[in-house]
């Protein structure tokens, strides 16, 4: 058995995620070289870019997609795999900004995103190992009220089946810890292998005519007459239009987008496969994934191979804040001391993008409006990034009504200008300090 102290090689942020380990070999897409001219260039081989490429290819287009590393090497393959309902901050902000009717349309579209993920798998004959059942746990007693309000909001938006669980039932029947004060159970959310989802979309897009090239980082983007010129280390690509699907990295290519998101590095560990009886002492009920209400949240789940994934903490700077395993494993053991003898089999980080209002930011930029973008999924990218990629594909095909609904969400840049990351980090630290135990 391998202990946490035996894994120095896994304390690097670019180590493979557990999802990559469980999925196995990825599709082999070669780097791009030479001079190329295309109609549509997609930059980014994660949820957004692949869903966009797939939608275009299934409708007769031949987009070119480039990815800096292997497919799903960024946040799309490095998250917790949580398939979430709705939007991170709830519906209130959408109601205030756009009205109740449009807020309902956007909620319904987010729900369509879940169905879209299932439809993509069914249509293309692959399995990303989705399991339903989701818990949002109250970290403090005063958070139970917020969960009750969230349940009421979901019901107002026509989303049924959720229920509140009190602390006693939660510890007895659902989780092997008494650390939480209750939970909201959502049977319509769950856990998926995000690498398997990306790999399946990539294969399907390529089969339908998309041209995909991995290990081809975009280094520069320049507007030229009649289109956009992208430069990589080995290629020059002239495109009539470009889709920026690199999430936290979009601003590196279009600086006007950078102030709208804060990159957040989220780190996780995963155990070696657990014996079935031990796994059942950690997650007892029919639930696939769990998060809690603190900032930043603790989140966990069991993979199909019974590896326990556990995430905690965040860094707002583009470097590793710590050795991953020695810092996250103690948080896991405080909740689940029964895992003290479980070896750690993977430790990794992924950089997500957070907007000021925590709703996705999308639209068009450039002097001719031929640079499309979507980013800032604020921790709910499995569904929302896949959905926005699909909707951008539809918009590029001429059906832009649903994409324009998302593009109409008002956004402001993060405060602080060049110091915005520091200011955001300070605000989060202050909010964390105020989260005193009851």
Q: pLDDT digit string (tens) for 381-403?
A: 999 999 999 999 999 999 999 99
Note the pLDDT of residue 285: 87
**What angle do the packed helices 194-207 and 47-58 form, to 10 degrees?**
30
What tens digit of pLDDT does each residue of 244-275 get?
Answer: 999 999 999 999 999 999 999 899 999 999 99
- Give tens-digit pLDDT for 290-337: 999 998 899 999 999 999 999 997 776 655 545 788 889 999 999 999
Q: What share of the chain has pLDDT > 70, as a percent?
A: 91
CA distance 180 to 160: 24
Q: For the chain, what is the total number of helices (H) and then of strands (E)?
A: 13, 17
Report yes or no: 244 and 44 within 8 Å, Cβ to Cβ: yes
Nearest CA-CA partner of 47 in 266, 320, 350, 311 = 350
User: How far apart, in whole angstroms, are the C-alpha atoms of residue 261 and residue 268?
Assistant: 22
Structure confidence at residue 82 (pLDDT): 98
DSSP alpha helices (H): ranges in 125-210?
143-156, 167-169, 194-207
Q: Which residue has the tokens 């520069």?
A: 220
For 215: left if phi > 0, alpha if psi spans -120 to 50, otherwise beta; the answer is left
Of the candidate ranges 327-341, 349-363, 405-419, the one whose mean pLDDT is the lowest? 405-419
Q: Give me the residues paired with residue 182 across strands.
A: 166
CA–CA separation, 164 vs 167, rounded Å?
Answer: 10
Q: pTM here?
A: 0.94
pLDDT at 438 > cutoff 50? no
**Per-residue pLDDT tens digits for 25-67:** 999 999 999 999 999 999 999 999 999 999 999 999 999 999 9
């Amino acid at each position: 058995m391998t202990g946490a102290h035996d894994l120095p090689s896994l304390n690097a942020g670019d180590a493979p995620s557990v999802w990559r380990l469980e999925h196995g070999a990825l599709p082999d897409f070669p780097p791009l070289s030479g001079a190329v001219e295309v109609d549509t260039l997609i930059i980014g081989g994660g949820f957004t870019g692949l869903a966009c490429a797939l939608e275009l290819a299934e409708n007769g287009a031949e987009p070119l997609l480039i990815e800096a590393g292997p497919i799903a090497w960024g946040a799309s393959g490095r998250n917790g795999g949580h398939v979430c309902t709705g939007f991170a901050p709830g519906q209130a902000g959408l109601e205030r900004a756009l009205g109740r009717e449009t807020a309902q349309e956007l909620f319904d579209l987010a729900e369509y995103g879940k169905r879209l993920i299932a439809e993509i798998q069914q249509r293309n004959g692959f399995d990303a190992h989705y399991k339903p059942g989701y818990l949002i746990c109250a970290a403090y007693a005063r958070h139970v009220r917020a969960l009750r309000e969230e349940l009421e909001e979901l019901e107002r938006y026509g989303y049924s089946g959720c229920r509140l669980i009190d602390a006693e039932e939660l510890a007895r029947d659902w989780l092997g810890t008494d650390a939480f004060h209750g939970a909201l159970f959502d049977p319509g959310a769950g856990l998926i292998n995000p690498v398997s989802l990306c790999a399946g979309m990539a294969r399907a897009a390529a089969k339908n005519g998309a041209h995909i090239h991995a290990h081809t980082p975009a280094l520069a983007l320049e507007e030229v007459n009649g289109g956009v010129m992208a430069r990589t280390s080995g290629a020059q690509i002239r495109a009539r239009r470009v889709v920026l699907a690199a999430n936290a990295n979009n601003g590196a290519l279009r600086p006007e987008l950078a102030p709208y998101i804060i990159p957040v590095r989220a780190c996780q560990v995963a155990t070696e496969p657990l014996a079935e009886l031990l796994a059942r002492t950690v997650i007892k009920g029919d639930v696939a994934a769990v998060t809690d209400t603190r900032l930043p949240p603790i989140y966990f789940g069991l993979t199909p191979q019974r590896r326990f994934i556990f995430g905690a903490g965040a860094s707002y700077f583009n470097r590793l804040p710590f050795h991953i395993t020695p810092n996250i494993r103690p948080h896991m053991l405080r909740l689940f001391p029964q895992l003290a003898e479980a070896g750690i089999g993977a430790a990794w980080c992924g950089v997500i993008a957070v907007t000021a209002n925590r709703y996705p930011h999308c639209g068009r930029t450039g002097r001719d409006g031929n640079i499309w973008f979507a980013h800032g999924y604020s921790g709910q990218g499995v569904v929302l990034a896949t959905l926005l990629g699909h909707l951008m594909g539809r918009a590029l095909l001429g059906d832009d009504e649903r994409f324009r609904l998302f593009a109409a969400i008002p956004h402001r840049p993060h405060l602080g200008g060049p110091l915005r990351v520091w200011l955001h980090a300070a605000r989060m630290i202050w909010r964390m300090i105020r989260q005193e135990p009851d």
